[in-house]
Structure formats: structure tokens, C-alpha cells
């Protein structure tokens, strides 16, 4: 489950979502923020049917802010944002990337690069390749009830796909919450599961010298070309 400070941060962020409908100062400040990140969380709605969908909103969560880009109002994904999506950095965290990448390529001629997929990560961790939506994955891994990952205002197709206008505050907060939690999900799956073995190797390696109380022996083993501790590292 999320820690208390993570819950406070989540609530603070979803109450300060930045909704962008034109290429004004907020738009350019958002691009500057995104450009400065090493990693962002990316949602696209609708995207379930890939190229057969028409992009309505793009949601990007950074370490600082959460942005909802109204692509219907903007009219297009302009060059600066497209370049960020195609760059290796910032790394994009997505769920069901095969659907999102298909949409971007065939609807916008944008080839996404530099990304991680929380669905793929979940499959590896659970050793189960069964379908699992982003909401389901968040609920399972972060132990958040599905009821807290829903929105009462998503009650018909246009609201579920975020194609109707205007978008309500509840819809924006729902999207922002998922984008922020998707980033948390990625962290838990990678650092709490997949990287455990690497972290244990690093822990064992780091203790190679300090576990020996005999300083003279340690000095000898620290010489140039030393392979001390190498046996802690399993390559495969």
C-alpha cells in the first residue's frame, strides 16, 4: 500500500492538475517541465483500439505536476510535444504500450521511443500473461480498492472515452490520479520486485571489505586489479 506521505502527495497533486487547451504560457511551461524529467507517466484516451481511436486527451505526470492536454481543443500534437514523445528521454511509463504506440504511429505519425510498460512488468512479476487493465494493476500492486479508482461521472461512452466536452473536474482528477499511480506502480514493480535480486547483489558486494575486521588483509585485497567480491555478482 501507499505510505502516508505518498497519499498526501497524491491528494495534493490531483487537486492541482493543469488543464491545457491552447498553446499559451501554461503549455510552454509544461513542455519545459516535461523536458527536464528523466521519466514521465503517459496516458492517452481513448486508446484501447489503437489506430481506430481518435485522440481526445493526453495525460502526462511529472515529478512536479500533472498535465491534461486537450488534443481536441489544441487540434493537433504539435512538433515540440511530438519530439518529446519520440525522444529516448524522458522515459515514458505506459500500460498496454502496443495499443498506445499503434495509435500514435497511425493517427499522428509519431514513433514513441524510450518507454517502459507496466503491463509487461506485471506479467514478469506475476509470471502470468493474462490481461490486466491499468486500474486492475494499480489495485493489485498498490492495494487500492477499485472503488477508489473510479469516477461517478464516467457513466456513458463519451465520458468513458473522454470525447465529450466539457471535461469535468471529476474526469480530470480521475485521469490525473491514474497517471500519478501508474508511475507509483512502475516503481513498485521494478524496484520492489524485478530489481530485488540486483539490490541483494549490491548489498553483498558492498559488504565485501567491511565484514573483515583485519585491516591489513583488507588493504592487500584492495590492491589494483582486485577481484574481491566479484563472486557476489551473478551475471545470468
DSSP, collapsed to helix, strand or coil, labels residue 178 as helix
How far apart (Å, rounded) are the C-alpha atoms in residues 207 and 210? 5
Whether residues 122 and 206 share a domain: the answer is no
pLDDT score for 232: 87
Residue 21 CB neighbours (<10 A): 17
CA-to-CA distance for 110 and 118, rounded, in angstroms? 21
The whole-number average pLDDT for the span 52-65 is: 97
**Are 41 and 108 contained in the same domain?**
yes
Same domain, 173 and 214: no
**125-132 contacts at long range (C-beta below 8 A, 24 or more positions apart):** 125/189, 125/193, 125/194
Do 164 and 225 lie in one domain? The reply is: no
Distances (CA, A) of 109 to 41, 53, 76, 204: 21, 14, 11, 47
Element housing 27 (H / E): helix 25-35
Residues 105 and 203 in one domain: no
Q: Decide if pLDDT at 124 tops 80.
A: yes
Query: pLDDT, tens digit, for every residue of 19-48?
Result: 999 999 999 999 999 999 999 999 999 999
**235 pLDDT band (50/70/90 cuts)?**
low
Contact 132, 153 (CB under 8 A): no
The count of structural domains within the chain is 2
pTM attached to this predicted model? 0.89
Domain of residue 171, CATH code: 3.30.420.10
Are 54 and 106 within one domain?
yes
Asked if 136 and 217 sit in the same domain, the reply is no
81-105 pLDDT, tens digit per residue, is 999 999 999 999 999 999 999 999 9
Shared domain for 208 and 128, answered yes or no, is no
What is the CA 170 to chain-centroid distance, rounded? 21
CA 58 to chain centre: 13
- Hey, what's the cell of 73? 481543443
Do 51 and 106 contact (CB within 8 A), yes or no?
Answer: yes
Domain that holds residue 205: 198-232
> In what helix (H) or strand (E) does residue 45 lie, and over which residues does it extend?
strand 39-45
pLDDT-based confidence at 159, cuts 50/70/90?
low
Element (H, E) at 101: helix 97-108
Q: Are residues 159 and 218 in the same domain?
A: no
Q: Do 156 and 215 lie in a common domain? A: no
114: nearest Cα among 82, 88, 83, 93: 88
| Same domain, yes or no: 120 and 226 | no
All three cell numbers of 179: 497517471
Give yes or no: residues 104 and 219 share one domain: no
Higher pLDDT, 224 or 185: 185
Amino acid at each position: 500500500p501507499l505510505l502516508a506521505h505518498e497519499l498526501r502527495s497524491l491528494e495534493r497533486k490531483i487537486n492541482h492538475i493543469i488543464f491545457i487547451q491552447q498553446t499559451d504560457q501554461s503549455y510552454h511551461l509544461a513542455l519545459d517541465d516535461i523536458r527536464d524529467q528523466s521519466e514521465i507517466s503517459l496516458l492517452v484516451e481513448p486508446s484501447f483500439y489503437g489506430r481506430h481511436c481518435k485522440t481526445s486527451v493526453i495525460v502526462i505526470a511529472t515529478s512536479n505536476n500533472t498535465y491534461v492536454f486537450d488534443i481536441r481543443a489544441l487540434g493537433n500534437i504539435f512538433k515540440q510535444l511530438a519530439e518529446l514523445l519520440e525522444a529516448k528521454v524522458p522515459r515514458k511509463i505506459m500500460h498496454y504500450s502496443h495499443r498506445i504506440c499503434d495509435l500514435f504511429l497511425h493517427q499522428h505519425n509519431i514513433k514513441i521511443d524510450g518507454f517502459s510498460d507496466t503491463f509487461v512488468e506485471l506479467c514478469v512479476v506475476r509470471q502470468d500473461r493474462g490481461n490486466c487493465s491499468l486500474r486492475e494493476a494499480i489495485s493489485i500492486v498498490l492495494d487500492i480498492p477499485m472503488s477508489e479508482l473510479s469516477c461517478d461521472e464516467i457513466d456513458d461512452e463519451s465520458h468513458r472515452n473522454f470525447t465529450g466536452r466539457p471535461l469535468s473536474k471529476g474526469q480530470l482528477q480521475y485521469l490525473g490520479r491514474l497517471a500519478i499511480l501508474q508511475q507509483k506502480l512502475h516503481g513498485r514493480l521494478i524496484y520492489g520486485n524485478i530489481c530485488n535480486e540486483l539490490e541483494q547483489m549490491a548489498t553483498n558486494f558492498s559488504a565485501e571489505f567491511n565484514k573483515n575486521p583485519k585491516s591489513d588483509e583488507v588493504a592487500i585485497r584492495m590492491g589494483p586489479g582486485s577481484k574481491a567480491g566479484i563472486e557476489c555478482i551473478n551475471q545470468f
